[in-house]
A and B are shown apart, each in its own frame.
Chain A
Amino acid sequence: MTAKFDIRDLSVSFHGKPVIRHISLQVAANGILGIIGPASSGKTTFLRVLNRMNELEQGSSVTGQVLMDGNDIYRSEVDAVALRKSVGMVFALPVPLPMSIHDNVVYGPTLAGISDRGRLTELTEKSLKAAFLWEEVKDRLNTSGLRLSGGQQQRLCLARVLAMEPGVILLDEPCSGLDPISTAKIEDALTELKRQYTIVLVTNNTKQAARISDETAFFLMGELIEMGPTNQMFTAPRQKRTNDYITGRFG
């Protein structure tokens, strides 16, 4: 296994209140790591640490190391904006920009200085195809992104992240408001995308983690309770607390 991220003794607090406590784990490259756990277990914070989005909130403090491809992303000389380009994020609620489907997808690359029309057209098609949305929108790329269905909007947001050609995709509850068909399309897209990207998926839907992640980590109260191959985690977890959570007996 090649580790994309190597997290060593990570602790995070907000205004002195610990949210993540001494977590060490590795995220394999070209795989999907599913992170499960009840509310307030530190899942989303962990995700935001991976592209330093946690720094956007005041009072955040991080100790330990987060190595990406062997380099500590928290060193002072690392440019957080550049980091976020290579570590993209999809949020729970799809937020298309109030512009056309095409412009939504190329928004990031355009801001980053790409102006060549041919290149932008190519990026649009490639990203929409990778997000499993191309066939549904290829004839109406100038329609507003806001006119798409919820599931399509979420795939548009995924395409927007892919257009930046990142190495890592972080997803925070990407299917929380979606119907089973839209969820299946996102899951199909992620299963294909992992060939090229490293994916970290936070989900409250344990069955989603079971369906698509290669490894699963169970977080509880800011601690990593157990992490292992998804197959083992959902059939024979080693920790009783993991079993209680995945069988719905927790709490």
Chain B
Amino acid sequence: MDQRHFDLQLSHLKERLLLMAARAEALINTAIEAVRTKDAAMAEHIFALDREIDRMEIDIENEAIALMALHQPMGGDLRFLVGAIKINNDLERIGDHGVNIAQSALKLAGEPDITPLVDIPQMSELALAMLRDSLESFIAGDYEKAREVCRRDDQVDSLKRHVLVKLSMIMGEKPETIGRGIELILVSRNLERIADLATNISEETIYIVQAKVIKHRFEDSQ
């Protein structure tokens, strides 16, 4: 069967989301690098990257709303468009968390390290891998992979708790590190939220593919 015009438009929307996800991933990588290298110029660059993601969000949202109005989709197509609108929003918020991290990077620039950065780069790697895999599962309609991404969220949560405990101890012993310690705790908090948003994307993928709602542990109560 020939691919319908509507299917082509859905594919186009998918490609735009994928491009937006790649931009969001690059933004987070840059923000963490700015924290690590204390590079203020790099942190400033993040704000421009985020503005681009914001523009993409508006374009994608308009495109999805137009497809809904013009085609009045049902069944799997309807779930795809609703899911795409939510994923679009999740990606935009990931960009915002990157901006928060960049703001912390600006405050940390020029200041000495209070401890070698080990957990935060690891959290960043885990969260970004979750983001990549959640997007791959969305594109491929692979709900098993999406469920696997959801399960990985606990690792990031536990690293965040570890960062909090470790930095609290240092700040207790050396009060002069409190300002920098709080910034690093905020960075870990933003990375943890990014992993949550990757989890949301996976949950939305499961809704699109299987029509099942698993968020808020809703599935367990069914």
Contacts and interface: CB of A to CB of B under 8 A. Distances in A.
Given A235-B79, A235-B211, A236-B79, A249 B74 contact: no
B73 A247 contact: yes
B76 interface: yes
A247 B79 contact: no
B78 A248 contact: no
Contact of B72 (A207, A235, A237): A207
A176 B193 CA distance: 51
B19 to A, nearest CB: 25
B207 to A, nearest CB: 9
A54 interface: no
A210 interface: yes
Contacts of A24: none
Given A236-B211, A248-B4, A249-B1, A243 B72 contact: no
A234 interface: yes
Nearest to B6: A248
Interface string A235-250: 1110000110011110
B74 A247 contact: yes
Nearest to B212: A236
B144 to A, nearest CB: 18
Contacts of A203: none
A230 to B, nearest CB: 11
Q: Tell me whether chain A's interface is mostly helix, strand or loop, or mixed.
A: helix
B77 interface: yes
A213 to B, nearest CB: 13
B75 interface: yes
A206 interface: yes
A247 B73 CA distance: 7
B75 A246 contact: yes
- Most chain B CB within a 10 A radius of its CB, from A206, A207, A210, A236: A236
A207 B73 CA distance: 9
25 contacts: A207-B72, A207-B74, A210-B74, A235-B74, A235-B75, A235-B78, A235-B79, A235-B211, A236-B75, A236-B79, A236-B211, A237-B75, A242-B75, A243-B75, A243-B76, A246-B74, A246-B75, A247-B73, A247-B74, A247-B77, A248-B4, A248-B6, A249-B1, A249-B4, A251-B1
Interface of B: 1, 4, 6, 72-79, 211
Closest 4 CB pairs of A and B: A236-B211, A243-B75, A246-B74, A234-B74
Given A207-B74, A249-B1, 20 more contacts: A206-B74, A207-B72, A234-B74, A234-B75, A235-B74, A235-B75, A235-B79, A235-B211, A236-B75, A236-B79, A243-B75, A246-B75, A247-B73, A247-B75, A247-B76, A247-B77, A248-B4, A248-B6, A249-B4, A251-B1
